Structure 1
């Protein structure tokens, strides 16, 4: 079935939470200056909103918010705030009211009301409504309701909380799958339900955690159900198992935007650079098999795959490495076979007989540590074996 590419697409806003939720994971602490450097790299990708942090929580968070407010050019900043007037005042002192989204954290489940907060439903709604009205009175226009643990709250609680908050001035609603407990169909159903409550004028945003490995799938289900925005982090860093990975989200929106009938202004080319800046700051190493950022994401050593890629990369590449500023890596190892050796020999115009090919192949295949060699290394192996063969020939 052909996809129509001329249809109008709904634009998805990208909200980056690397500096706030990403930092909350153990080992991810960033200085205010590091946050600014990372934020500038993320802004260069084309993200719409960058969350600076939780300014009322510490002087460092306050300073980071101040730096981002002054340093960012195109992206809006966002701050996380409890439903407290003091938090609102501190956030405004740090980031002002222009191009600043104040997210007010709300308790979204009966479980959290009882076991974490020790308050009833009425108090949970009242404190949020009061804080939103207060922030609005101070000139804040971009107010957001962040519903924590929304995926375990009752419809009755969520609808009252959300509708009262919208009346009090919230322009967007964030639905947190705080424990990563929902399946995509369940999360999409929740997004659709909230969309029906608030109507088209209020933005609905996803915030999905990866405890079941479903954060990206849930975010996409949210988009299909009508979400306007996705909150994500570079490399998916965040509490526990992390969050929706920003790079994977942008990749899907880039390659599957027509199918999803959505678009984004973000570009793929700067993502790996942003990841490098983040990695330098917190010492992060991506798993080898991590999509987009992993060392093996665009590497191939299996013989059948190598043969296909050498003829035409499209045979085994759907996601193009150059689009993400990364090289295609072709490696020779135990499972590579002999055809790639002949390919390299042909490229360097070195005629090889079967015996030399076999010697080179055995040297590579018999490595006990599974080490692979890139094509430049294979070239050196071939030349060494060819030279040894030539010297051994009778004169």
Structure 2
């Protein structure tokens, strides 16, 4: 059965207009716990004092599910995750051509693999469980995927994550990619993270749900640009497929949770519609902004897109 890791409080923090306060983060987390997700993904503790304090506050909530926080493949980021009190660290790095050229400033593949190995080994040495996400997996050559995932697993990664970072896959492509990944790494739990830039995130997640262990979601699909797979819609689809139940009480809870996230985040589903939504090509995460300004292909699926209609943030309060 696929479990849901909700990253409203991490991915959602990369949506335009969103700055989750500590009290808002706690309110959303309590709603998620009541609704019944299987893991909460907090923010990126090393990014700012607020991100650290939010993660720390979430770690102190009474809960029976794990808390995961984000980190680059860097020792200082991982130390912050440990200090903030999360049990899991989500370490991410990319090895695709665009990742090497844009985000890693032309570092060699061997250098990037070395960062992945060193960071995961360190995280394990300080008692953290590790999810390794290969950023932009869907646009990464299969051989390079294998090299990166094998390196992560060799150093103790507890699960690996396939990320369709720019939302390019169709359900058929997603299924074929995950079948190959599962057959190659059959002993390692697999998570998927689908972006909605083509409007296919939910369809992709439903297609691969029978073959993966975790699905990354957020309430209302809130996230970077057009967002990701919607937590509530995914839970309902799992119920429809008879792999997970959704009670009438949970439906009522989901409506309240949806309203809270929409109000506190000042985001509507219409804002995130592919192509025509005003956030469709908007970036807020600093790492994404820098890469996008250097090469729009780093975080855009449309060919020949010039990026002239994008902006760093949308301040509509």
Query: 2:14 matched to which residue of 1?
Result: 24
Any stretches of 5+ residues in structure 2 without a counterpart?
274-317
Q: How does 1:276-315 map to 2 (within 5 A)?
A: 276-287=259-270
User: How far apart are the structure 2 equivalents of 1:265 and 1:94?
Assistant: 32
Alignment equivalent of 1:48, drawn from 8, 24, 38: 38
How far 1:277 moved relative to its partner? 2.0
Query: 1:154 matched to which residue of 2?
Result: 141
Q: What SS class does the counterpart of residue 31 from structure 2 fall into? A: helix
User: How far apart are the structure 1 equivalents of 2:53 and 2:181?
Assistant: 35
CA contact (8 A) 2:44 2:51 kept: yes
2:260 aligned with 1:274: no
Any stretches of 5+ residues in structure 1 without a counterpart?
1-10, 291-395
Q: Could you give the per-residue CA deviations for residues 67-104 of structure 1, whole angstroms, max 9, x where no partner exists? A: 110014122111110001111111100115xxx21111
Q: Could you give the per-residue CA deviations for residues 296-342 of structure 1, whole angstroms, max 9, x where no partner exists? A: xxxxxxxxxxxxxxxxxxxxxxxxxxxxxxxxxxxxxxxxxxxxxxx
Query: 1:37 matched to which residue of 2?
Result: 27
Query: 2:183 matched to which residue of 1?
Result: 196
Q: Could you give the per-residue CA deviations for residues 216-245 of structure 1, whole angstroms, max 9, x where no partner exists? A: 011122224x11110011111111111001
How far 1:287 moved relative to its partner? 4.7
Alignment equivalent of 1:63, drawn from 53, 60, 63: 53
Q: Could you give the per-residue CA deviations for residues 111-165 of structure 1, whole angstroms, max 9, x where no partner exists? A: 211232121211111101110001111112x211011100000111100110111
CA contact (8 A) 1:78 1:102 kept: yes
CA RMSD of aligned residues (A): 1.8
Q: What SS class does the counterpart of residue 116 from structure 2 fall into? A: helix
Alignment equivalent of 1:242, drawn from 222, 227, 230: 227
2:206 aligned with 1:220: yes
2:248 aligned with 1:263: no
User: How far apart are the structure 1 equivalents of 2:256 and 2:2?
Assistant: 22
Q: How does 1:376-387 map to 2 (within 5 A)?
A: none
Query: 1:233 matched to which residue of 2?
Result: 218
Decide whether aligned partners of structure 1 residues 58 and 18 sit closer, same or farther in structure 2, where only a CA change above 3 A counts: same
User: How far apart are the structure 2 equivalents of 1:278 and 1:268?
Assistant: 15
Q: Could you give the per-residue CA deviations for residues 3-49 of structure 1, whole angstroms, max 9, x where no partner exists? A: xxxxxxxx211000111111101112211221111011011111011
Q: Which has the higher contact order (CA 8 A, sep 6+)?
A: 2
Q: What SS class does the counterpart of residue 53 from structure 1 fall into? A: coil
Alignment equivalent of 1:134, drawn from 122, 129, 132: 122
Q: What SS class does the counterpart of residue 166 from structure 2 fall into? A: coil
Q: Could you give the per-residue CA deviations for residues 162-196 of structure 1, whole angstroms, max 9, x where no partner exists? A: 01111101111111100001111111111111111
CA radius of gyration, larger in: 1
Query: 1:364 matched to which residue of 2?
Result: none
